[in-house]
Amino acid sequence: MPRRSRSKSLVRSRKRKAGDLASQRLDDGDEVPLASETSGADKTRLGRASSSNPNALWPDCDAWRPKSMFDVYYRLTAVVPREEWPAFSDSLRRPLPITFRFTRDAADDFRAEGERVLSRWAAEGLGTRRLGLVEGWQLHMDKHQLREAVPGSDAASVREWLIRGTESGLLVRQEVASMLPAATLGVLPHHRVLDMCAAPGSKTTQLVERLDGGGGVVVANDFSALRCFTLVKRTASLGPRAASLVVTNHAAQKMPRPPAARGGGGGGGGASGFDRIVCDVPCTGDGTTRKHPEVFHRWEVALALRQHPLQLQIAMRGCALLEVGGLLCYSTCSLNPIENEAVVAALLHKCGGAVEVESGADAVAAELAGGCAPGMSTWPLLDFRLARHRDLASLRASADVPVREKRLYRASMWPPTAPSLAAQLRRCVRLLPHRSDSGGFFVALLRKVRELPAPPPRAPPR
């Protein structure tokens, strides 16, 4: 197929964003059918199915654009039970509620000023609730509703109180899902902690506050120098506590090992590793639609396929830097199992039993977010036409999948066949917007039980 000129591509992009493509002209009330619900006549109407693959019930991406592609993909992937889909889909399109946590510098009188109203709202059952695990609150309203509060009302007074607290560093506006990784790790004051992809810095400040001047250190890393500048600016509110913070600028998958702790043995032993690691990897961000609704317009199947190899490399490097007995929290703000459970399964396989999924993250998530779901142990792999493929060999053998598309797939993207790996994946945690009133989020708490196996020897150069 000849490549479109740049001018035509730009015009098509603008039309897609405005929803003016012919393929986007669906009524908002139209229900997009599941593959199993589609009759033969409907298949003809929706587009030409692949003659060699009976599961290819949906037309090419170019002909079926963003109003439906996101929804169809995740319905076919079964990220939520079928009966929960309407509530899940509706929650993805509602703004996030306001959430925040207090810093260690927040005085009792400042807290009491705002909590008088917040406690009354919670008692009235409006939906405001205390986040005791992180010393914070989740309100029953979003930022747009708070902005429109009538002057002199309780909501207006809370808005002014939040502004004063944010400007003075007494509270941090942070989404509930973003608070979860640090909350699950159980950081102690003496720990050496690594935040592998730290910017913009909300999780980093949370980690530093947990050290509380106990002699530990937080190493906050980011690949982008500009994002590192943002990180330093964000953590300036820590004041004297920032003495426990080191900001570095490295590619996370090549993060160097720190020097051995004082009194440690050096020599590459465990003493030069980290006790706790936050591995919040770059991702497609398709769980952030409540905060960034433009995700619906730019979403496509290929996004997760491109992220998967990098995510696995970063997670592997994190496990290499972790001390035996230490904990690593792998997390994304994505709904896609290719970026979540598939990465964890591949990581467990590559580590050869040296790393295990720890239980307990679900209890922390339930207390903090109010509800969660277990990880997925199986999922379908779909190509750009949303046709299923049972494994990499069947995809590569398909005549309907272009060669450049085949290059994006890896064997590690398919669900594991070993029952032991599938059981561990159920210990992972998914935050779903309709259950926890948060963004979509994934967390896997991993413990290193022994040193990683040595890599296989490289073949000598020819």
Q: What is the pLDDT of residue 9?
A: 59
CA torsion through residues 452, 283, 78, 63, sign: negative
Could you tell me the residue ranges of all domains in the chain? 97-173, 176-259+270-379+415-448
Distances (CA, A) of 286 to 203, 252, 282, 440: 20, 22, 12, 8
Q: What is the pLDDT of residue 26?
A: 40
Residue % of the chain over a pLDDT of 70: 83
Distances (CA, A) of 73 to 17, 24, 69, 395, 433: 19, 16, 6, 17, 17
Q: What is the pLDDT of residue 5?
A: 52
Cβ within 8 Å of residue 130, ≥6 positions away: 118, 122, 136, 137
Q: What is the average per-residue pLDDT within 345-368?
A: 95
CA neighbor of 192 nearest in space, from 87, 300, 326? 326
Confidence band for 54, pLDDT divided at 50, 70 and 90: very low
Pairing of strands 192-195, 274-280: parallel
pLDDT digits 0-9 by tens, 400-420: 999 999 999 999 999 999 999
Beta bridge partners of 193: 218, 276
Q: What is the pLDDT of residue 27?
A: 38
* pLDDT exceeds 80 at position 19: no
Binding residues for S-adenosyl-L-methionine: 197-203, 222, 280
How far apart, in whole angstroms, are the C-alpha atoms of residue 329 and residue 444?
6
* pLDDT exceeds 50 at position 437: yes
Backbone angles phi, psi at 344, to 5 degrees: -65, -45
Q: Which two tokens stand for residue 354?
A: 């040296």
Q: Are 432 and 373 in contact (CB under 8 A)?
A: yes
Does 30 or 386 have the greater pLDDT score?
Answer: 386
Residue % of the chain over a pLDDT of 90: 74
Q: Are 437 and 131 in contact (CB under 8 A)?
A: no
The pTM of this model reads 0.83
What is the residue-averaged pLDDT of the chain? 86
Q: Which two tokens stand for residue 63?
A: 């002909």
Backbone angles phi, psi at 263, to 5 degrees: 90, -10
Binding residues: 197-203, 222, 280
Q: What is the pLDDT of residue 48?
A: 35
Q: What is the pLDDT of residue 375?
A: 96
Backbone angles phi, psi at 392, to 5 degrees: -65, -35
Least confident of 26-30, 66-70, 409-413: 26-30
Confidence band for 12, pLDDT divided at 50, 70 and 90: low
Q: What is the pLDDT of residue 272?
A: 76
Q: What is the pLDDT of residue 396?
A: 95
CA neighbor of 338 nearest in space, from 409, 277, 396, 279? 409
* pLDDT exceeds 80 at position 163: yes
Q: Are 199 and 231 in contact (CB under 8 A)?
A: yes
Q: What is the average per-residue pLDDT within 385-409?
A: 95
How far apart, in whole angstroms, are the C-alpha atoms of residue 167 and residue 111?
15
Does 63 or 273 have the greater pLDDT score?
Answer: 273
Q: Which amino acid is at 174?
A: Q
* pLDDT exceeds 90 at position 152: yes
| Number of neighbours of residue 243 by Cβ within 10 angstroms | 11
DSSP state letter for 168:
T
Q: What is the average per-residue pLDDT within 60-70?
A: 50
pLDDT digits 0-9 by tens, 244-267: 999 999 999 999 998 875 544 434
* pLDDT exceeds 70 at position 30: no
CA neighbor of 431 nearest in space, from 420, 422, 421, 444? 444
* pLDDT exceeds 90 at position 1: no
Catalytic positions: 333
In 3-state terms, what secondary structure has residue 101? Answer: strand
Q: Are 61 and 384 in contact (CB under 8 A)?
A: yes
Homologous superfamily in CATH for domain 176-259+270-379+415-448: Vaccinia Virus protein VP39 (3.40.50.150)
pLDDT digits 0-9 by tens, 317-354: 999 999 999 999 999 999 999 999 999 999 999 999 99
| Number of neighbours of residue 435 by Cβ within 10 angstroms | 19
Q: Are 103 and 208 in contact (CB under 8 A)?
A: no
Residue with tokens 């002199």: 152
